[in-house]
Chains A and B, each alone.
Chain A
Amino acid sequence: MQIPVEGFMYPNEVELQWSVLIVLYPYITGLVAGAFILASLERVFRVEAVKPTYRLALLTALSFLLVAPMPLQLHLGHPERSFEMYLTPHRSSAMAMFGFVYLWYLMAVLLLEIWLDYRRDIVLKAQTSQGFTRLLYRLLSLGSNNISERSLRIDERLGYFITLIGIPSAFLLHGYVGFIFGSVKANPWWSSPLMPIVFIFSAMVSGIAAVMLLYMLTTHLRTRTIDMRCVDTIARYLLYTFVIDFSLEMLDLLQRIYEADESFRSLDFMVHTRLWTSQVIIQILLGTVTPIVLLGLTQVLTLTDTARKRIYAIAGSLTVVGIFAMRWNVVIGGQLFSKSFLGYTTYKMGFATREGLLTAIVLMILPFGILWVLVKLLPPWPDAGSLPASGTTPAHGTT
């Protein structure tokens, strides 16, 4: 065996089944759920301050959601059979049900909400653009160009209702990802009723941080001024969810340490050796404690706008890295130890292989490419100059 093994593994366990691509899957899904929940803050909970990020958050969620199944497809032994998941879904399988949760979330929540929110823009663009773009917008408008005040009001009400459904759906989407891992009783590193909840909160943390960074970055690139009230609010929510997330994770950890069941020695050794860097250093110290302290400082100290922006940028970046490390530690960590609790294997990540690092990097860049296209197609900026001057305020947002 070329894979280094320490102690005893059952012979079939030596090879890891789920690669870095399966690390990406909960990471990307988490960003979707988190971004959507941030968007719904504005719409359902009427947090006016975060309004500048509403549409950006929705488009971010869509870009990542479109990429979410790709790592799964790439890692399947038979990607051409994946449609069986919809044809003959096994009701007792968390993974099969995830297919439907995903479809529900994509079709019934996200696409619908974006479509309703952008319908006025789409119709106006269809009327003013030329050639292929015109055709595209006409197609998106489904051939209806009715943007009467009444129809927009109906859209607005329906959109609100969908956001209302969307919040539990986003929770479901990522909670379900947590359940896929949390329900594996054979694996003590995964098997935990807290798993779905930890996944939801870490998803919110990563999604909020990602949208905050994206907003700051895009505003900077467009040479506009960052709305400090907006980022301050987002940062505050980020801090709150982060504190909950961290408490849940620590609760899980404390319980494991205190109970010290049959798997504890083995897992404890793993955390202190193979996972020390990715779990303790990157995930907990750099990716969780540091951003919480930084964000906490902005709450207790009076800092200049520039200082706050810098802190938010640093904290946000550390957060998205930290949450990635968390996904890594769950997925990869859960496969490094033997289910006999007597040994450990090693994960050898390929580079230019189907499930290698290069693929992972491409898959991580892809959502930004999609986002770029979506932003071109459906500008999320309230001050979008590309919109035909109609003299009215943008149709989206709260009533």
Chain B
Amino acid sequence: MRFSGPAIQTPAHGKNHVFKDIEHLIRLAAVMAIGLIAFIVLRAAVVPRSFGQYGHYRGAAIAEAAAHPISYAGHTVCEGCHTDVVEQKKLGKHVGVPCEACHGPLAKHADDPASVTPPKLDTAVLCARCHEANSAKPKWFPQVVTADHSGGVACDTCHQPHKPRIEDEKTAASGRKN
């Protein structure tokens, strides 16, 4: 500004005066501009790369959600090996009950069948979860009051869980159709 001073003559003097009287406002504007620029730079540096890839979110989050480990292998994987059980289940009412509904999460077993073996199940507890009588259960569903029905005796004493109907066992040999 020093060198431009002499070049500007009388008319500019008033202009200079105006400038001087709003100098503090210009300084304030400069402070705000610096803040704004700092924000824009920071924003560009900090916002995750994949943000906005599919929408207003971090696109990489989708793949991260999909990377969660699996606990339940799924019955098709079980059936690949345990073909004998598949055949057995086909003969009974539990044909539609998926393996891990009773046996629990067994992805680790599917991955390494030799070293990870499923625990033995307690049928007295397990069967009651579904078959204990409850008025809210649909009428078509087979239900018993276990206390009256078995008096605490484990269900698999009489029933074979993969093919639960008792008369099935007697008639299976004589070529029952269903």
**A151 interface contact, C-beta 8 A:** yes
B21 touching A151, Cβ below 8 Å: yes
A87 to B39, CA, bound (A): 9
**B170 interface contact, C-beta 8 A:** no
**B56 interface contact, C-beta 8 A:** yes
Which A residues are in CB contact (< 8 Å) with B24? Answer: 119, 141-142, 144, 146, 151
**B126 interface contact, C-beta 8 A:** no
Which B residues are in CB contact (< 8 Å) with A88? Answer: 47, 51, 56
B23 touching A87, Cβ below 8 Å: no
In this complex, what residue of A is CB-closest to B42? A87
Out of B22, B31, B43, which one reaches A151, CB within 8 Å?
B22
- Tell me which of B28, B43, B47 has the highest count of chain A C-beta atoms within 10 A of its own C-beta: B28
**B60 interface contact, C-beta 8 A:** no
Q: Which of B17-37 contact A (CB under 8 A)?
A: 17, 20-25, 27-28, 31-32
Residues of B in contact with A, size category = 10 to 19
Which A residues are in CB contact (< 8 Å) with B46? Answer: 83, 87
B31 touching A86, Cβ below 8 Å: no
A314 to B42, CA, bound (A): 50
The B interface is mostly helix, strand or loop, or mixed, namely helix
**A257 interface contact, C-beta 8 A:** no
A154 to B21, CA, bound (A): 8
A158 to B43, CA, bound (A): 31
**A115 interface contact, C-beta 8 A:** yes
Distance in Å from the Cβ of B14 to the closest Cβ of chain A?
Answer: 11
Which A residues are in CB contact (< 8 Å) with B17? Answer: 150
A146 to B22, CA, bound (A): 9
**A220 interface contact, C-beta 8 A:** no
**A7 interface contact, C-beta 8 A:** no
Which B residues are in CB contact (< 8 Å) with A150? Answer: 17, 21
B51 touching A158, Cβ below 8 Å: no
Contact with B along A58-95 (1 / 0, CB 8 A): 00000000000000000000000001001110110000
B28 touching A90, Cβ below 8 Å: no
Distance in Å from the Cβ of A30 to the closest Cβ of chain B?
Answer: 27
Q: Which of B153-172 contact A (CB under 8 A)?
A: none
A107 to B33, CA, bound (A): 12
A87 touching B27, Cβ below 8 Å: no
B56 touching A107, Cβ below 8 Å: no
Distance in Å from the Cβ of A78 to the closest Cβ of chain B?
Answer: 15
**A143 interface contact, C-beta 8 A:** yes
Distance in Å from the Cβ of A221 to the closest Cβ of chain B?
Answer: 34
Q: Interface residues, chain B, CB within 8 Å of chain A?
A: 17, 20-25, 27-28, 31-32, 39, 42-43, 46-47, 51, 56
A–B Cβ pairs within 8 angstroms, 9 of them: A87-B43, A88-B47, A91-B56, A112-B28, A119-B24, A146-B21, A146-B23, A150-B17, A158-B25
Instruction: Give me the 6 closest cross-chain CB pairs, A-B, nearest first.
Output: A144-B24, A151-B21, A142-B27, A150-B21, A87-B43, A144-B23
